[in-house]
């Protein structure tokens, strides 16, 4: 082997070092994806137990949220898997020629007769230098080959995780739809919800008919009987959970692409996501309003309102008392099929969050920043 070939092998070995992610990284991705799949399996167990629970609505609510959390975790895990696979594939393609040269050099080292390895055109000095470099570089070359082999195995593992995710997804998506349907049925059949007051239907209809803005409607609620009847709760010591699983798109006072400024938060969420009450409250209004879809307005304490709008279904009636975590509605949209779910994740898009829920908090008819109430 010539001194030039040895130098080339050393250069290639250094170039290929960029391919390494190490087994720890791959194992982390595998654990993330598998843990998400286990969440969906655990949600299935909750669904079975919900049929035997004394408070079936509470059990089904926990089940739906468990499915949503599991699907969200699986989506995030698969997104990382896909991203890592794309990086590895791109790096392998970009360095295909270098890999081939490295393998060729190693092959020549392995098949060159031992006596010829001791000869060098420049004489004894060149032979000694080449021998020293070969002795120093061969272990490094072997280490890079081992890393290459590990990365190829990691790539195969990542693709195996993607293939197995389809079966888990098909089961999970079907069962979460079953849980949502059973929850809606249980809520419609429920007759034991306590009422704090009975709303004047005519007065409410007049207010809905005359409202021209969401804020104006909320202001008008303060003039109807029942306002301020909710007892003041104990002060919350921690930030409230969001009423829906999702991501905050727009914050208080932040203009959108059209320059529209809202006095609340806009949250991106998945189709069919369950919306729950963030704290104990009384329903002041539930139903369609203007172009806001289904709207729920909660009164957690006198002179305070939480407005939730953009749902396709709203549960409950005015005057109903809710406990924290009680379901109040569901988002619209069409639930994805397993192949659509995987395609969205593979494309690295908006993670399937095509629906938006608007949250506005009002204190004495004045909008306040939800950041003072909710955890992002």
pLDDT for res 222? 84
Query: Which residues does the chain have with pLDDT short of 70?
Result: 1-30, 32-33, 94-163, 165, 233-237, 345-351
303: left (phi over 0), alpha (psi -120 to 50) or beta: left
CB-based contact 367:360 (threshold 8 Å): yes
Of the candidates 171, 186, 243, 169, the one whose C-alpha atom is nearest the C-alpha of residue 59 is 186
pLDDT for res 227? 78
pLDDT for res 280? 92
d(CA 281, CA 284): 9
Contacts of 225 (CB under 8 A, 6+ apart): 197, 199, 200, 203
How many beta carbons lie within 10 A of that of residue 297, not counting itself? Answer: 24
pLDDT for res 199? 80
pLDDT for res 283? 94
pLDDT for res 8? 36
pLDDT for res 274? 94
Angle separating helix axes 3-16 and 124-189, nearest 10 degrees: 20
**Does the reported pTM lie above 0.75?**
no
List beta partners, residue 313: 330
pLDDT for res 4? 38
pLDDT for res 339? 73
């Amino acid at each position: 082997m010539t001194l030039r070939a040895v130098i080339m092998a050393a250069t290639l070995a250094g170039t290929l070092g960029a391919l390494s992610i190490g087994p720890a990284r791959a194992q982390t991705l595998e654990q993330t994806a598998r843990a998400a799949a286990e969440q969906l399996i655990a949600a299935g167990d909750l669904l079975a137990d919900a049929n035997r629970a004394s408070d079936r609505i509470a059990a089904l609510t926990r089940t739906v949220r468990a499915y949503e959390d599991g699907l969200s975790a699986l989506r995030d895990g698969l997104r990382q898997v896909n991203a890592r696979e794309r990086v590895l594939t791109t790096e392998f393609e970009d360095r295909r020629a270098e890999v081939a040269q490295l393998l060729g050099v190693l092959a020549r080292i392995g098949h060159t007769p031992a006596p010829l390895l001791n000869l060098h055109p420049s004489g004894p000095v060149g032979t000694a230098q080449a021998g020293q470099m070969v002795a120093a570089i061969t272990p490094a070359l072997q280490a890079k080959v081992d890393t290459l082999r590990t990365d190829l195995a990691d790539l195969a593992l990542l693709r195996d995780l993607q293939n197995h995710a389809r079966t888990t997804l098909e089961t999970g998506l079907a069962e979460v739809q079953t849980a949502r349907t059973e929850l809606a049925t249980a809520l419609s059949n429920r007759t034991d919800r306590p009422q704090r007051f009975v709303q004047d239907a005519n007065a409410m209809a007049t207010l809905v008919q005359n409202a021209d803005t969401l804020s104006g409607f909320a202001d008008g609620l303060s003039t109807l009987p029942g306002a301020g009847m909710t007892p003041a709760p104990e002060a919350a010591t921690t930030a409230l959970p969001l009423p829906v699983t999702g991501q905050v798109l727009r914050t208080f006072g932040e203009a959108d692409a059209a320059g529209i400024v809202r006095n609340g938060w806009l949250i991106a969420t998945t189709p069919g996501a369950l919306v729950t009450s963030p704290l104990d409250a009384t329903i002041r209004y539930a139903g369609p309003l203007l172009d806001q879809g289904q709207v729920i307005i909660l009164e957690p304490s006198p002179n305070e309102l939480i407005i939730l709008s953009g749902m396709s279904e709203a549960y409950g009636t005015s005057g109903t008392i809710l406990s924290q975590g009680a379901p109040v509605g569901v988002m619209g949209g069409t639930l994805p099929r397993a192949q659509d779910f995987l395609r969205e994740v593979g494309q690295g898009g908006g993670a399937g969050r095509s629906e938006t829920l608007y949250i506005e908090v009002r204190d004495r008819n004045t909008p306040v920043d939800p950041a003072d109430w909710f955890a992002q």
